[in-house]
Structure 1
Amino acid sequence: MAENSTSIINSIGNSTFIQEMETGLSNATGLSPTWADLIIAIFIVILSYLLAKAVKYFIKDVAPHLVSKTETTLDDEILKAINGPLQVFIMAVGVYIAFATLNDLPGVLSDNLVALLTIALVYIAAYLVSNLATAVINWYKNDVAPKTNSELDDALMPFLAKAVWMLVFIVATLMVLALFDVNITPLIATLGVGGIAVALAAQEFLSNVFGAFAVLSDRPYKIGDRIQLADGMVGDVVEIGIRSTRIKTLDSRLIIVPNADISKSNIINYSLPDAKVRFDIKVGIAYGSDVEKASSILLDIAAHTEGVLKDPAPKVYIKDLGDFSINLLMHVWVKDYKLSWEVPDRIYRETLKRFAAENVEIPFPVTTVLLKMQQPGVTVEALNPPAAKR
């Protein structure tokens, strides 16, 4: 590697063009060849920088207008992807050529200059590949994912982009080691064993990741749905992440539930198959009241309450005969589960007004106590018998 590096650098430094530039600059300015070499090297670096900026301007400001008429955003993402790696490539090659023109380059740097350039080119290629992969992922997320009915791609794409980035740079590192005749077989074996150890240590995280895949693929709920968990907690889904699902409760608290737990629990989704929901309105009327009249009043109230659906129509049933009241039950269907407080409140308030106006009594528990006069010679037994004598 050192011999190849030295020969390549000498071929660049001794090229006819470079030698003519050095001689011309030295004759014109009276500088020594060493200073002439240094000025030429600085000039090459500056030229590389200006060329990189020109490429950046073309890709960022000119090329987008050339591809603006296409219906896809893939070409725009590719332009963004190659912008950074191409600038770094131009600068790396320019710096390499600048150092190669120096005749008095230190031996350590001269012997390893090609090796440094090789390492730089491998990582620049990895940079480009990861950017292109990210460009494809962004194109899919922007153009394809909105047309699908699944949230799996929306949540998976950022995770996939990070995984591809890590994989590409791991492969690039192994390639660099292989180029310098480093035996990477033990390293690969070590990475395999380490991967198993990491997988065992990250069982909980991995179970949550697979739980996220299960949730996103099976789609028991989606963002915006109102769900009830097995423990009775009710809230709206605000985010489905790789590790957990975030739920905003009805009192505006944010609950974070691991996907592994939520994928294994029973869930009630109030949003499926649609947003309508049935409420039970329970009212008790006094014995002797007109049941048909009370039922008619309840149906009329429901018919004029905002949010109550006409189909299915409200229905009133006698639920049971209580100790002190006839208990009526009215089923009302509401167009949106988010009206779970408003609609019952409106019905109950109006029921109180209408029953009072039309003399329909709503009873309350009454306890009647009968006192019997004690007759002469008769003892009234206590409610609790006296304790037995020992």
Structure 2
Amino acid sequence: MTEFLETYKLHIIYGAIVISIALVLHILTNALHKWLLKKEQEKFPGEKVTPVNIIRRIFNTLWIVLMLIALSFIFVGRDKDAIIIANFKLVLYLGFLAVFTIVAAASTNLWFKRSIIRKIQNRYDPTSYKFLRYVAVFAIYFAGILFGLMAFPSLRGVAQTALGGAGVVAIVIGVASQEALANLVGGVFIISFKPFRVGDLIKVTDTMVGTVTDITLRHTVIRNFENKMIVIPNSIINKEKLINYDLGELKCCERIEIGISYDSDIDLAKKIMREECENHPLIFDNRSTLDKKNDHPIVKTAVIAINDFSITVRAWAWGKNFNDCFELKIAVLESIKKRFDKEGIEIPFPYRTIVMKEKKVSESKHKKI
């Protein structure tokens, strides 16, 4: 045993030093992690600590891998030292590159988040910042991956070409027919031409109505009135004909239509509909100065269709915004129905007249003969 210790004394000392350094670095990393978590919670309460946790795992893994590479000097010949040193440098480079990339992406993301909050607090449009946040974070990770590829001689040419610009063009051409690029271009068009912004109330179809909450590189997110998130790819929503209730003037007109029977008094039905709309507190007076001077009614009513079994009467009621119009419509429909029942205005059901014809007795007898 003594002879073994004397023979491998330097190797044992070297191994102990390497392991000790790795343990110290592990302890320092965990201590630094706790300190960063505390500072981050104090400065940015409520923010996710995922990047800090990932960085701790990367560093702890890096110390273990570097320790194993350093210990391999004991078991290989000196002719392999150059290879071990090269691998040591490669792992060290990739580890710190990963940490730098995550820190840069997390810092950029946090800066955009705080800028978006300030924009909202000052009542400015945060749409561009929300979209650019995704672009900036994607660009940082993309650059980190390319620099990582440059560490490998076999992939260095690909990475340098991509960083030089020709590779980017090749990538764009390669995925030009893919839906991913169409969604990206659609998102850029939405941000550039602004058919809608974050916070706008839009209607894509009758089942897709809600407030825009986010515009990413791939899709647009809408929160509907059931508090459900509707995710629509940018390439689709960019081609849709949609209604933006917050673009330009907020006031809008709600068309309230009810069918009455042919026996009902049309003038009385129009009067009831007009009065119920005008008496509602959310009605908006959209009359011009000349209309007011000529004593035109706030709510216009008219017969718009004569159907098989009913006459359709419409009232044009205005509200300050879409929400007021919606509340106005559902309340007025109920009050109009109650007034119709009270005043004897019938809302008809579909009628069908069936005529039964009996065959003549003479014809039946003739057929028998």
Give the TM bin, normalised by the shorter chain. Answer: 0.5 to 0.7
2:27 to 39, 54, 64: 54
Alignment of 1:172-191 (within 5 A): 172-177=148-153, 188-189=160-161
Per the alignment, residue 154 of structure 1 pairs with: 130
| AA aligned opposite 2:333 | Y
Per the alignment, residue 241 of structure 2 pairs with: 266
Per the alignment, residue 18 of structure 1 pairs with: none
Per the normalisation by structure 2, the TM-score is 0.66
2:332 aligned with 1:347: yes
Q: How far apart are the structure 2 equivalents of 1:328 and 1:311?
A: 21
- How many residues in Structure 1 have an aligned counterpart in Structure 2? 331
Per the alignment, residue 318 of structure 2 pairs with: 333
Cα offset, 1:130, TM superposition: 0.6
Per the normalisation by structure 1, the TM-score is 0.63
| AA aligned opposite 2:111 | Y
Q: How far apart are the structure 2 equivalents of 1:63 and 1:320?
A: 69
Q: Per the alignment, do residues 333 and 90 of structure 1 end up closer, same or farther by CA in structure 2, a change over 3 Å counting?
A: same
Q: Per the alignment, do residues 34 and 137 of structure 1 end up closer, same or farther by CA in structure 2, a change over 3 Å counting?
A: farther
**What is the SS of the residue equivalent to 1:245?**
strand
Cα offset, 1:344, TM superposition: 3.3
**What is the SS of the residue equivalent to 1:228?**
strand
Per the alignment, residue 318 of structure 1 pairs with: 302
Q: Per the alignment, do residues 258 and 82 of structure 1 end up closer, same or farther by CA in structure 2, a change over 3 Å counting?
A: closer
| AA aligned opposite 2:143 | L
Q: How far apart are the structure 1 equivalents of 2:66 and 2:220?
A: 48
| AA aligned opposite 2:215 | I
For residues 171-211 of structure 1, the C-alpha deviation after alignment (integer angstroms, 9 at most, x for no partner) is 2332453xxxx895587459976654442231142232021
**What is the SS of the residue equivalent to 1:266?**
coil
Contact 2:146–2:159 (8 Å) recurs in 1: no
| AA aligned opposite 2:19 | I
Contact 1:82–1:128 (8 Å) recurs in 2: yes
Contact 1:81–1:132 (8 Å) recurs in 2: no
Structure 2 segments unaligned to the other structure (5+ residues): 120-124, 288-297, 353-369
Contact 1:44–1:97 (8 Å) recurs in 2: no
Identity of aligned residues (%): 19
**What is the SS of the residue equivalent to 1:278?**
strand
Q: If you compute each CA radius of gyration, which structure gives the higher value, 1 or 2?
A: 1
Contact 1:99–1:105 (8 Å) recurs in 2: yes
Contact 1:96–1:117 (8 Å) recurs in 2: yes
Q: How far apart are the structure 2 equivalents of 1:186 and 1:350?
A: 71
| AA aligned opposite 1:53 | H
Q: How far apart are the structure 1 equivalents of 2:155 and 2:22?
A: 37
Alignment of 1:6-45 (within 5 A): 31-45=4-18
| AA aligned opposite 1:111 | A
| AA aligned opposite 1:45 | V
For residues 35-55 of structure 1, the C-alpha deviation after alignment (integer angstroms, 9 at most, x for no partner) is 434432442233123212322
RMSD: 4.8
Q: Per the alignment, do residues 52 and 73 of structure 1 end up closer, same or farther by CA in structure 2, a change over 3 Å counting?
A: farther
**What is the SS of the residue equivalent to 2:150?**
helix
2:144 aligned with 1:168: yes
Q: Per the alignment, do residues 130 and 288 of structure 1 end up closer, same or farther by CA in structure 2, a change over 3 Å counting?
A: closer
Contact 1:209–1:259 (8 Å) recurs in 2: yes
Per the alignment, residue 373 of structure 1 pairs with: none
Moved more, 324-333 or 164-173: 324-333
